[in-house]
Amino acid sequence: MDFNIIRCARAILHVRDLDASRKFYVDALGFIETESDDDHIYLRGLEEHTHHSLVLKKADEPAVEALGYKVSSEADLEALSKMLEEKGYPTKWLEKGEQHAVGRTLRVQDNSGLPLEFFAEMEPMERLLQRYDLYKGSRMQRIDHFNCGVPDVEEAYNFYQKNFGFTCSEYTDTPEGNIWAAWLHRKQNVHDVAFMNGLGPRLHHIGFWLPDQLSLIHTCDVLASMGYGEAIERGPGRHGLSNAFFLYLRDPDGHRIELYSGDYLTSDPDFKPIRWDINDPMRQTFWGHAAPDSWFNEASAVLDVFTGEEVGQKPGKLKQHKPTFVI
């Protein structure tokens, strides 16, 4: 492979009210506000050494503009563009200066219709990992993963492994042998992106890493004390799949955020993907509590990288199963 995708690196979410979003993400969850203007808020975690990992962009309706991955070099962007164009996927270039704090960027709609972007350069910022005086809310550390609903998980699974060099850590299949959900990674933990069968393309959630399990519990107390009790959609709990602790939240626009801590290393080349049968009760939340219907049915619409319009959605290829574990 002529390029190196390092990790998931940033997301751009459209939100209706920047002040309401700031209160939730900065005041309650403890994101660092790197910078803002009349139309954007740029956020990062305490561990992150780059300008941002989350952009909140003012818009009339909530949506997902881009899911971003960092690559090693500018040459990687050219190689990615060549590969995608040869396979029939038109690409869009945003030159350095067209987006704040980010270098030259390549955008494309993937085979499921998700809006992807790739970049090599972002403005550096002070890493605040040991600025414990700034640890507030959930003590947010870094972006960890995207989870997306797609109509055909096997197509997404194959596309990302064959064309982008992702590796599978865990997957769920049906009695017929069809892949119902898959967790794929470039960095050396469980996932940078997960796909689950369902109406899509949609973004189910963005996962952010916290320093420990107690930070999840503390987040619940902070949210409740600030009047955000209803924002807690699911958890806290422990996933059976990945073994991580989780807490799912809904922001003021309905975008779903997962606070996540404690999965495992996947660096060894001989690591074998872990299979879960969809009817295996151990795939459920380790403590046994089920996900609410909203967690299964609701997700964020994604936008076309060329037109900016909402991408049309299709139902999942496989029979639906109400999930209680997807991370």
Q: Which residue has the tokens 């704090």?
A: 101
Distance CA 64, CA 310 (A): 9
Neighbours of 36 (CB within 10 A): 14
CA 283 centroid distance within chain: 21
Residue 171 contacts residue 219 (beta carbons within 8 Å): no
Among 232, 225, 229, CA closest to 247: 232
State the pLDDT at residue 324.
Answer: 47
State the pLDDT at residue 327.
Answer: 47
Among 211, 249, 29, 246, CA closest to 130: 211
State the pLDDT at residue 295.
Answer: 85
Residue 157 contacts residue 197 (beta carbons within 8 Å): no
State the pLDDT at residue 325.
Answer: 43
Distance CA 201, CA 181 (A): 14
State the pLDDT at residue 175.
Answer: 86
DSSP state of 290: P
Residue 40 contacts residue 55 (beta carbons within 8 Å): yes
Give all strands (DSSP E) within 95-213, no chain letters. 105-109, 115-119, 142-150, 167-173, 179-185, 193-197, 202-209
Low-confidence spans in the chain with pLDDT less than 70: 240, 281-284, 320-327
Integer CA distances (angstroms), 56 to 15, 109, 124, 256, in order: 6, 21, 19, 13
Distance CA 151, CA 147 (A): 13
Among 62, 80, 81, CA closest to 303: 62
State the pLDDT at residue 321.
Answer: 60
Going from the N-terminus, what domains does the chain have, and what CATH number goes with each?
5-119 (3.10.180.10), 138-301 (3.10.180.10)
Residue 209 contacts residue 142 (beta carbons within 8 Å): yes
State the pLDDT at residue 302.
Answer: 98
Q: What are residue 85's phi and psi, to 5 degrees? A: -65, -40
